[in-house]
Amino acid sequence: MSSSLHTDEPISDRRLTVLSIVLLIGAMTSILDTTIVNVALDTLHTVFHSSVADTQWVSSGYLLGLAGVIPLTGWASERFGTRTVWMTAVALFLLGSILCGFAWDLPSLIFFRVLQGIGGGVILPVTLTILTQAAGPSRLARAMTAIVLPAQLAPILGPVIGGALVDAASWNWLFFVNIPLCVVALVLAAIYLPADIRDRGRRLDLPGFALLTPGLVALAYGISQAASGFEQPKAWLPIVIGVALVLCFVAYSLRARGVPLIDVRLFARRGFGLSSVLTFAAGFSSFAAMFLLPLFYQQVRGETPFATGLLLIPQGLGTITFLLLNRRLPGIDVRIIVVGGIVLTMIGALPFALAGASGGDALLLVGQFVRGFGVGASTLPIMTIAFAGLARPEVPRASAAFSVVQRVGAPFGVTVVAVIFESYLSHAVAVGAPVLGAFTATFWWVIAFSVVPLGLALLLPRPAKDAAPAPQLSPEPIPEA
């Protein structure tokens, strides 16, 4: 039996914990999927006798499907209800996973990955909406842990799980592994997810959709093609088109009389706006370092993909440690926590900026743990601040807007750092120098990029303590309008 949402009094801590676990199971599959598959791209290239460029579309197709559907999540959540939309997204992701596992050639696999990406793109924003509405301001940080944890562990666990599946079974199990998790998530969701009020009169903003969705897809495509340099027409032209369409959407949204697909006015709120900018900037620092670390271990230290995944575990342990200690930090100014977290990510990157071709293994592992702790300290409070001051009706569109920033900012920042790294690497190869120099120089860039969010974090507001009360889960469903 499902429950309904009311706004009379907050739900119990126990019910919030159960709700978080259910949502975590569904979100974990979509977040892990990208990194699990990436480690097997070389295997897929061999299996399907295709070029590396064509095989890369297994990842790019997923990202394009994901980017294209995010703008719809706010409208869909209000129109059909978050419970229905979340379960539909998980079911679509499950269907895509099954079809991917049975793909007979590369084009079919790419098509099914787009389908899988559409489901995966809806899961996370709607998860944010449900948790924010159910937790209320006083327990928002605790609820956000359900999102922060898998997001930070995915780059670490993904290569380990993906490498083990390819070695022990076959590439098909990269997708079949999602089946039991999705089934469990759907069964539990039918029992525990709250049914909320639907706005059947909520119309889709078609002009906004026609501007924003193609704009985000163009941006995602351009970014995916920019690894070899932004000067390539296949990279800069889609990015220019994407930016132009997004700017047109912003202008349209500010003048729209009805409810726009994404309410850009939310970015004018100090907490939500600064948190979004900080999240975008994390692509140049936190996510870029996650991109560099596996390459460092494999190209400089000669480790296998599976061993690399194991060596990256300390970073995940650092994040988990912060999440466990976070409850013991009441009363501390959240800006101090965020600033301290960013500083720790910079300190944790130093051993890699100063590393040699061998030795110092213990220091590198400690550096990863410190980085992981810092990432947790700088990520969880930012998400909490972003949603703490929002009214309940604003949450679905805010979740979609925040997810857009995440999905564009992270790959864009990583691509910029990848281009910087590639330029150093090409120079090293041209002059016959060790590749180590390319890594150390790029890590210094990552540290330098962290100065921007460090300054912005000082401007963050304290989370509001007197926001609207959290909704209640009632055993009786609300009649549909």
Distance CA 200, CA 340 (A): 45
Distance CA 349, CA 343 (A): 10
Average pLDDT, the chain: 80
pLDDT at residue number 3? 40
Asked if the model's pLDDT at residue 467 lies above 70, the reply is: no
Distance CA 289, CA 455 (A): 19
* Beta carbons within 8 Å of 263's beta carbon, 6+ residues apart: 253, 394, 397, 398, 401
pLDDT confidence tier of residue 295, bands split at 50, 70 and 90: confident
Compute the Cα dihedral for 28, 29, 30, 36 and give only its sign: positive
Asked if the model's pLDDT at residue 6 lies above 50, the reply is: no
Q: Which residue, chain included where needed, has tokens 């944010």?
A: 128
Distance CA 270, CA 298 (A): 42
Answer whether 63's CB lies under 8 Å from 89's CB.
no
pLDDT at residue number 475? 31
Share of the chain above pLDDT 70, in %: 85
pLDDT at residue number 228? 64
Predicted TM-score (pTM) of this structure? 0.75
More confident residue, 389 or 262: 262
pLDDT at residue number 462? 67
Q: Which residue, chain included where needed, has tokens 């390819």?
A: 166
pLDDT at residue number 305? 65
Express each pLDDT in 136-188 by its tens digit: 766 776 677 766 666 666 666 777 787 778 777 788 888 998 999 899 999 99
Q: Which of 50-54, 169-173, 234-238 has the lowest mean pLDDT?
A: 50-54
Beta carbons within 10 angstroms of residue 104's beta carbon = 8
Angle between helices 436-449 and 334-353 (to 10 degrees): 170
Answer whether 403's CB lies under 8 Å from 76's CB.
no
pLDDT confidence tier of residue 347, bands split at 50, 70 and 90: very high
Asked if the model's pLDDT at residue 398 lies above 50, the reply is: yes
Average pLDDT over residues 265-289: 84
pLDDT at residue number 331? 66
pLDDT confidence tier of residue 5, bands split at 50, 70 and 90: very low
Helices (H) and strands (E) in the chain, counts: 21, 3
Average pLDDT over residues 92-121: 92
